[in-house]
Structure 1
Amino acid sequence: MSTNRLRTLGEKTVGPGHPVYVTGEIGINHNGELENAFALIDAAAEAGCDAVKFQKRTPEVCTPRDQWDVERDTPWGRMTYIDYRHRVEFDEDGYRAIDEHCAKRGIDWFASPWDVESVAFLEKFGVPAYKVASASLTDDELLRAMRATGRTVILSTGMSTPKQIRHAVEVLGSANIVLCHATSTYPAQAGELNLRMIHTLEREFPNVPIGYSGHETGLQTSLAAVALGACFVERHITLDRAMWGSDQAASVEPGGLQRLVRDIRTIEDSLGDGVKKVYESELKPMEKLRRVKGVVAEAEEAGADGADREPAAV
């Protein structure tokens, strides 16, 4: 198999012919609590995910200045929006603890940096990859900062036009990226998922592995993405969909995450190589159930028994 569609994430290979790389997107569903982050890491590890993903922002860069002082109700009381943005961000000590917990559980972690300063922050941890959130696809400065690290970059394509996607791929370079189809509605409706875009992206970018980042409810459509060829799957995960936070309702709870990973493994095992064959397990049922061997079967047996015979006259 050609290696031009394969990428390395940590010690694992992503691309055709390799197991689907499954990422549990924690994002900010931890609500700024390390205990929640650890519990979500545990749930992802127990489900068999390959990695968990966080989001990293510099609040003063990513929050519009006119929203800084707008007050809002939060689980920690009423506070300004800029204070809230700081409340749900982990500092270096927090990410050190996350790094150690992931190592203990044998699962990788990486993040979506939303600004250049956050890329520099994450470089302290030697993450295996960076993720470009769909909202950041048009931020050329940020894309260049990620590319400069030399790490694999996973690019989500929600809320973006074909021209914008092509431009982002040009900025990042196609040699070290994974491209993910996505629809950026939370939660996304089935009629807007457009999963056949996986094939469209495969044709448009033949040297790039194609994945899927889902924000829908339920598991069926993410499994369908695997059947259509997605080699990377990301879903938001939560401890409880009723928890406070904008992404919780479009997330998968621990039990659903276990079913998702289990069924992804079953689907990829069942897809096969596309070459029709008679399996050894079929021979006894064939002997028992097939009443007429058929002309083709007899001709094949004759060819096997006497390949040098002249063909029969017709």
Structure 2
Amino acid sequence: MVFSGESILEALRRINTNQARIIFVVEDNGALIGAVSDGDVRRWITDTAELDLNRPIDWVMNRQFVALPVTTKPAVIAEHFDHKRDILPLTDAAGRFVALARRSAEGFQLGERLIREDGPAFVIAEVGNNHNGDLALAKRLVDLAQEAGADCVKFQMRDLGSLYSNQGRNAEAGYGLGSQYTLDLLNRFQLRNAQLLEVFEHCRARGILPLCTPWDLASLRVLEGDGLPGYKIASADLTNHELLDAAAATGKPLILSTGMSTEADINSAVALLRRLGAPFALLHCNSTYPAPYKDVNLSYLPRLKQLAGTLVGYSGHERGIAIPVAAVALGARIIEKHFTVDRGMEGNDHKVSLLPEEFAEMVRQIRAVEEAMGQSGARALSQGELINRENLAKSLVITQALPKGATIRRELIAIKSPGQGLQPNRIEELVGRLAQRDFQPGDLFFESDLSQASARPSRYRFSRPYGIPVRYHDYQRLTEGLELDFVEFHLS
């Protein structure tokens, strides 16, 4: 939002940064008085004689906007969305601008990629700390992930001094063995912040999106300074509402894993993010390394989507590629898998990671599944099926001569291949009808034999040349009586 009286230039800056193409204008007391889209600004620029971007935004704003009470039920809000409107301001009883409603089914923008329900899955190569503290290896993993077809390469950033109660020193005996092992690895294998930012720049140079998981507020501030387009929140922080609040305040899309979380934890996080107006997606996840297949529970994906009311995905720690491919078939629009060059390297994640050639095969399988999913609704025959239906299926044929006007009796009809005529399930529709034409033995019955009058060629007229596709054996019959400019023969 911007305040009444702020400059048009400032409003344009807000529009550039919020990626929503619209801002809302409020008075000092928060009362909503106008809306400004990038289209409103363009129209003002082309219509005005004196172009002064320091004029108040009030000169440009649209006062005829749609706003709804913040108490409006989601189903009612959804009815107000259309092809031009995917964001609605919500106001309190005093008319103050207090919340935004977004059409979440449309997904969200992450860099140059729009992630949405009807688009391809967004595939993340999770490097994490699999670079083992080697900057050159980190950049090589970026290159390999890009070559393997990943949409994104993700890393992790921790400020050990603020994240751990002992300021990140190697854990003493008071810590559990797992914590001691993890802290030892982090102290030895973390890249410095400046090195990670260098890796992000390498991602951009290679044309692949960089993402990072901030494990603490200090890391989030560093990443925000680098201008990352969004953030991944680890399963361990789904209940860390302080971090969620800070990440949501950036206005950028959030991808959150749900491993180690109860349904109550998930509902609590969703309620917070909804209240903050954050664009987000939830990833189903089992935080075991490696996760046994029996514990993955992919059937939870539809339930998670119901809870989230937005995009869902899958973050996998199991071995192999079968599970993420299956997750896409169940509606996952984001896939995250760990990525390494050597599963024998030291560290927790290497053994559950995919090698570059395995990751590439996973991407190929995901794209094949997406292509095979097709569309819901009534079943339609493909071109190949239409051809094979004609070649392999059966038709209704007449077994003896029958003059026009005579009754078609059941004993005159046989079922034979090929399937160029009426299908056998239409036989009862034929019985008892009067023949619309003369029949010879072996003639096929067609759809026109079920109507009162047979179809006849018409003399069409067009303002441009027109013709029809034909075959060598039927072009003379098909073109008889027609004034065609051309016929098209298909060769095979």
Deviation at 1:202, TM superposition (A): 1.7
Q: 1:289 to 1:111 in 2, by over 3 A?
A: same
- 1:229 paired residue among 331, 337, 343: 331
> Is the 1:131–1:154 Cα contact (8 Å) retained in structure 2?
yes
> Is the 1:7–1:209 Cα contact (8 Å) retained in structure 2?
no
Deviation at 1:14, TM superposition (A): 1.2
> Is the 2:185–2:347 Cα contact (8 Å) retained in structure 1?
no
Q: 1:294 to 1:4 in 2, by over 3 A?
A: farther
Instruction: Give the corresponding residue for 1:55.
Output: 156
CA distance in 2 between partners of 1:159 and 1:297 (Å): 61
Q: Does 1:294 pair with 2:424?
A: yes
Q: Which amino acid aligns with 1:294?
A: P
Q: 1:278 to 1:82 in 2, by over 3 A?
A: closer
Q: 1:32 to 1:290 in 2, by over 3 A?
A: same
Q: Which amino acid aligns with 2:255?
A: I
TM-score scaled by structure 1? 0.88
Instruction: Give the corresponding residue for 1:260.
Output: 362
Q: 1:32 to 1:167 in 2, by over 3 A?
A: same
- 1:282 paired residue among 385, 398, 409: 385
Instruction: Give the corresponding residue for 1:245.
Output: 347
Match runs of 1:128-277 below 5 Å: 128-173=229-274, 175-206=278-309, 208-275=310-377, 276-277=379-380
In structure 2, stretches of 5+ residues that fail to align are 1-82, 87-102, 174-179, 396-422, 430-445, 455-492
> Is the 1:71–1:80 Cα contact (8 Å) retained in structure 2?
no
Q: 1:290 to 1:147 in 2, by over 3 A?
A: same
Deviation at 1:285, TM superposition (A): 1.1
Q: 1:66 to 1:86 in 2, by over 3 A?
A: closer
CA distance in 2 between partners of 1:121 and 1:37 (Å): 19
Deviation at 1:81, TM superposition (A): 7.6
> Is the 1:68–1:81 Cα contact (8 Å) retained in structure 2?
no
Instruction: Give the corresponding residue for 1:312.
Output: none
> Is the 2:290–2:317 Cα contact (8 Å) retained in structure 1?
yes
Q: 1:38 to 1:4 in 2, by over 3 A?
A: same
Instruction: Give the corresponding residue for 1:4.
Output: 104
- Runs of 4+ residues over 4 Å off in structure 1: 79-84, 296-299, 303-309
Deviations 1:192-222 (A, max 9, x none): 000011111122233x101100110011111
Query: Residue 104 of structure 1: SS of its match in structure 2?
Result: helix
Q: Which amino acid aligns with 1:40?
A: L
Q: 1:71 to 1:244 in 2, by over 3 A?
A: farther
Instruction: Give the corresponding residue for 2:136.
Output: 35
Deviation at 1:83, TM superposition (A): 7.2
Greater Rg, structure 1 or structure 2? 2
Query: Residue 262 of structure 1: SS of its match in structure 2?
Result: helix
CA distance in 2 between partners of 1:181 and 1:84 (Å): 26
In structure 1, stretches of 5+ residues that fail to align are 73-78, 310-314
For structure 1, which segment, 231-240 or 63-72, has the greater mean C-alpha deviation from structure 2 after superposition? 63-72
Deviations 1:38-81 (A, max 9, x none): 11111110011110101110011223319724479xxxxxx998
> Is the 1:226–1:264 Cα contact (8 Å) retained in structure 2?
yes
Query: Residue 65 of structure 1: SS of its match in structure 2?
Result: coil
CA distance in 2 between partners of 1:17 and 1:107 (Å): 22
CA distance in 2 between partners of 1:37 and 1:100 (Å): 12
TM-score scaled by structure 2? 0.57
Which one has a larger percent helix, Structure 1 or Structure 2? Answer: 1
Query: Residue 211 of structure 2: SS of its match in structure 1?
Result: strand
CA distance in 2 between partners of 1:226 and 1:15 (Å): 13
Query: Residue 39 of structure 1: SS of its match in structure 2?
Result: helix
> Is the 1:198–1:210 Cα contact (8 Å) retained in structure 2?
yes
> Is the 2:253–2:278 Cα contact (8 Å) retained in structure 1?
no
> Is the 2:233–2:256 Cα contact (8 Å) retained in structure 1?
yes
Deviations 1:163-217 (A, max 9, x none): 11111112222650011100000110000000011111122233x1011001100
> Is the 2:129–2:189 Cα contact (8 Å) retained in structure 1?
yes
By relative contact order (CA 8 Å, sep 6+), the higher-ranking structure is 1
Deviation at 1:15, TM superposition (A): 2.1
Instruction: Give the corresponding residue for 2:145.
Output: 44
> Is the 1:69–1:81 Cα contact (8 Å) retained in structure 2?
no
Q: Percent identity?
A: 38
Deviation at 1:86, TM superposition (A): 4.1
Number of residue pairs the alignment of both structures matches: 302
Q: Which amino acid aligns with 1:214?
A: G
> Is the 2:231–2:247 Cα contact (8 Å) retained in structure 1?
yes
Q: Which amino acid aligns with 2:249?
A: A
Instruction: Give the corresponding residue for 1:88.
Output: 189
Query: Residue 244 of structure 1: SS of its match in structure 2?
Result: coil
Instruction: Give the corresponding residue for 1:99.
Output: 200
